[in-house]
Structure 1
Amino acid sequence: MRFTLKQLEYFVAAGETGSIARASERIHVSQPSISTAIAQLEKELNVQLFLRHHAQGLSLTPSGRTLFQEAKRLLEQAGGLYAAASQMHEEVHGNLNLGCLTTLAPMILPELTLSFTSAFPKASVSPLIDHQERLLASLRRAEVDIAVTYDLRLSEDVTFQPLVELPVHALVGENHPLARESRTTLKELAALPLVFLDLPHSRDYFLSLFDMDGLTPNIAYRLTQPDVIRTMVANGFGYTLVNTAPRSNVALDGRTLTRVAIDGSHRPMTLGLATLTALRQTKLLEAFVSHAKSIISQGYIPGMMAP
């Protein structure tokens, strides 16, 4: 096959307008170029496509009418090929650098990542797990594209899309006096030993809860590892404050933990998606945001009991 799509395009333009001159105006190609292309096409196909009428333009021959329809169909198919190629080019693919807060990652990250890559097989996810201060720094250095985190100490250069509110509650071991209670108060907790999550910004949040009620907590231990805190609490070293509610109530050593609600109007943590405001939204990033919004809500949170 030695004819080209350009020749077919010029042939169809001439057939639709009935004139080389009008075809030239429509497709912005010179008249000689159109005439030459049609002549070459006639030679290649060994058929006369047009009858030339002096000063009256062109009319398709019977063979020309048949080939005119076929040429239009071929051009439509070629257009479909370009559209398919364009769609493939815009397909969700590539690697997403995903940040996640230390306290959220064990529960949310596995299911969220697996469901996203299952929905978009040509996408991959590289996780970075850290505390809030470092996550925000990683966003600003473009080391992560997006972070699953809380609304803690966010500035104007970070865009935060809230997904779900998580109320604060106390966590105690199965032999703790509060384990038999369904509810408690910050005033009651303030006198008890606290195994404190001492991470940047998280510490400020928990301390502010006591401060707003004019209380000072009895911090017995300051730790930065959530799993160690859970195990110490399960072994009776004290209570801790958390917003997450894992579906498992068992610490890593197999001992049981109990959640206790806290009375009063205390600011919840808002779990959401943080991105750098100046970062251009790629198709990959847009797809992840949409996917996360479809999975995380007040009714369902991966790895957690829903609020």
Structure 2
Amino acid sequence: MVGPDVGQGAVELPERRPDGQLQYFVAVAEESHFGRAAERLHIAQPQLSLTVRQVEEELGVELFHRTTRRVELPEAGRAYLERVRAILAEVDEAADHARRVAAGVVGRLTLGCVGSATYSLLPALSRYLAAELPGIEFSFQGEMLAPDQVEALRTGAIDVALLRPPAADLSLAVRILRRDRLVVAVPEEHPLAARTRVRAADLAGVDLIVHAADRHSVMHDVVFGLLRQAGVEPRVRHEVRETSTLITLVAGGLGVAVVPEPVTALALSGVVYRRLLPAATIELAVAARADRAEPHLLRTVKVIQGLF
């Protein structure tokens, strides 16, 4: 019960623990005896009697009919017991939930995945996270370019990103997961499809399909760097934003593309994949904002690292 304002001259009451008072009441109600209830609670009987009497005074209701041998619940006491049990159950549930939150086993997170890993990684990752962290609700956004992922991490639109470094943002914690080999996606009727390996120099004069430069795609820069290092001036026919669109255009015979090997999981009729020489790789990393320390987020990042 809330007392009068201290500033009006009233004496401030000492802080009590309502859940403790409620447990005292329940023990007496269930034992129908103050002595047995005191033993059950491991407290002195006078302390128990005083606490129950204080509860009755605060409520203005007699909760027990007392006799020399036992105590009985009147109608008001039975009604109070029913509500008190529900309250204590909710208190226990709240405490359990708080412990689960602190342990990082409950919560909600949104993961953003780079396009080239969406098809090969996301199905297995979603199953793995559901098995390892069943109390966390995950949602996913696929086909995201690294710059879009970085911005989404900043704004909180996503919580964790699977991206292609570099992610030039000091506010992010980036952990490398693996290195993916680069391959060449070729229309099945293209002359290069007859080869088992394609050299970067072989792409001179070949129509290329690349990720859009205006979105600052990491793959765009990697591909142009590899070709120019081989002395090839890229001949770009199409620029696209999504990896699925890129492979679809290759299947349509509109050009050749250099992509990370996980893209081969996107099996479309009309496309074949050939190893690129000289061998080249690109990193895949997991990233989150460095200033975020929620247990379920940190646990998720750790679980993702354990998958690789």
TM-score range, shorter chain: 0.5 to 0.7
2:216 corresponds in structure 1 to 200
**Structure 1 residue corresponding to 2:253, chosen from 236, 240, 243:** 236
Structure 1 residues 42 and 223: CA distance shift in structure 2, 3 A: closer
1:64 corresponds in structure 2 to none
2:107 matches 1:90: no
Report the Cα distance in structure 2 between the residues aligned to 1:162 and 1:176, rounded to whole angstroms.
35
- Mapping for residues 123-162 of structure 1, pairs under 5 Å: 123-129=136-142, 130-162=144-176
Report the Cα distance in structure 2 between the residues aligned to 1:42 and 1:103, rounded to whole angstroms.
70
Give the superposition deviation at 1:86: 6.3
Report the Cα distance in structure 2 between the residues aligned to 1:153 and 1:207, rounded to whole angstroms.
18
Structure 1 residues 85 and 128: CA distance shift in structure 2, 3 A: closer
Contact 1:173 1:235 in 2 (8 A): yes
Task: Please list the CA deviations of residues 1-57 of structure 1 after superposition, one character each: whole Å capped at 9, or x if unmatched.
Answer: 3379xx779969xxxxxxxxxxxxxxxxxxxxxxxx4765799xxxxxxxxxxxxxx
Contact 1:150 1:271 in 2 (8 A): yes
Write the letter of the residue equivalent to 1:263: L
Report the Cα distance in structure 2 between the residues aligned to 1:260 and 1:159, rounded to whole angstroms.
34
2:284 corresponds in structure 1 to 271
Structure 1 residues 88 and 278: CA distance shift in structure 2, 3 A: closer
Report the Cα distance in structure 2 between the residues aligned to 1:149 and 1:169, rounded to whole angstroms.
18
Write the letter of the residue equivalent to 1:108: L
**Structure 1 residue corresponding to 2:244, chosen from 206, 218, 227:** 227
Q: Which sections of structure 1, spanning at least 5 residues, go unmatched?
A: 13-36, 44-80, 298-307
Give the superposition deviation at 1:147: 0.4
**Structure 1 residue corresponding to 2:117, chosen from 100, 104, 120:** 104
Write the letter of the residue equivalent to 1:170: V
2:300 matches 1:288: yes
Identity of aligned residues (%): 20
Contact 2:203 2:232 in 1 (8 A): no
Report the Cα distance in structure 2 between the residues aligned to 1:86 and 1:131, rounded to whole angstroms.
36
Structure 1 residues 293 and 144: CA distance shift in structure 2, 3 A: same
1:50 corresponds in structure 2 to none
Give the superposition deviation at 1:290: 2.5
Report the Cα distance in structure 1 between the residues aligned to 2:165 and 2:40, rounded to whole angstroms.
57
Aligned pair count reads 230
TM-score, normalising length from structure 2? 0.64
Write the letter of the residue equivalent to 1:204: D
Contact 1:104 1:244 in 2 (8 A): no
Report the Cα distance in structure 1 between the residues aligned to 2:120 and 2:170, rounded to whole angstroms.
28
1:32 corresponds in structure 2 to none
Report the Cα distance in structure 1 between the residues aligned to 2:298 and 2:235, rounded to whole angstroms.
45
Contact 2:100 2:106 in 1 (8 A): no
SS of the equivalent of 1:245 reads helix
More helix by share: 2
TM-score, normalising length from structure 1? 0.64
Q: Over aligned residue pairs, what C-alpha RMSD do you find?
A: 3.2
Report the Cα distance in structure 2 between the residues aligned to 1:138 and 1:86, rounded to whole angstroms.
28
Report the Cα distance in structure 1 between the residues aligned to 2:288 and 2:101, rounded to whole angstroms.
24
2:120 matches 1:120: no
